[in-house]
């Protein structure tokens, strides 16, 4: 899965935008969907307040990349391990967080609310760690 740097960056940006939108809009859909038990208004509000800040951070990072790198040259090849970690970490974080949000929406007794918010904060922290280690390394590259 070795790829040119510019290609990997574009794929990570596209995947990141789609995955963060999924994480942000999933609670909205589960809150509004009639056949789904969904979230109570207080749960929905708290969950949205946890998810929104990091989503804004990611969108700022991705929009900044799009604006600054419209005409980026292909760049160096990146190793398969580096590329794979980027894609799979995004996928695993998204599936785990989305799965847990969905599980809580369908079964309110699965975990107490306070513990649920702590777990969502842990997932959001994992997204932050991903951004701090992987994205800062990838987007901080200047033709190395």
Q: Residue 26's pLDDT is what?
A: 93
What tokens appear for 107 in the block?
Answer: 């079964």
Average pLDDT, stretch 29-41? 83
- The closest alpha carbon to 30, from 96, 104, 87, 83, belongs to 104
Q: What pTM, to 2 d.p., does this model score?
A: 0.82
- Length of the chain counted residue by residue: 144
pLDDT at residue 142 greater than cutoff 70: no
The Cα–Cα gap between 115 and 3 comes to: 40
Q: Residue 74's pLDDT is what?
A: 66
Q: Residue 144's pLDDT is what?
A: 45
The Cα–Cα gap between 102 and 86 comes to: 24
Q: How confident is the model at residue 122 (pLDDT cuts 50, 70, 90)?
A: very high
Q: How confident is the model at residue 78 (pLDDT cuts 50, 70, 90)?
A: confident
CB < 8 Å & 24+ apart, contacts of 15-21: 15/87, 15/90, 15/91, 16/58, 16/62, 16/90, 17/58, 17/59, 17/62, 19/90, 19/91, 19/93, 19/94, 20/54, 20/55, 20/58, 20/59
What percent of the chain clears pLDDT 90, i.e. is strictly above it?
Answer: 35
Average pLDDT, stretch 65-80? 71
């Amino acid at each position: 899965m070795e790829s040119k740097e510019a290609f990997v960056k574009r794929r990570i940006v596209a995947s990141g935008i789609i995955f963060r939108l999924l994480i942000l809009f999933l609670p909205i859909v589960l809150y509004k969907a009639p056949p789904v038990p969904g979230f109570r208004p207080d749960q929905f509000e708290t969950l949205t307040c946890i998810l929104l800040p990091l989503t804004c951070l990611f969108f700022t990072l991705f929009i900044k990349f799009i604006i600054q790198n419209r005409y980026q040259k292909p760049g160096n090849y990146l190793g398969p391990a580096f590329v794979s970690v980027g894609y799979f970490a995004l996928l695993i974080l998204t599936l785990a967080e989305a799965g847990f949000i969905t599980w809580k929406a369908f079964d309110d007794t699965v975990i107490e609310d306070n513990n649920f918010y702590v777990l969502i904060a842990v997932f959001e922290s994992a997204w932050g760690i991903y951004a701090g280690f992987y994205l800062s390394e990838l987007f901080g590259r200047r033709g190395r």
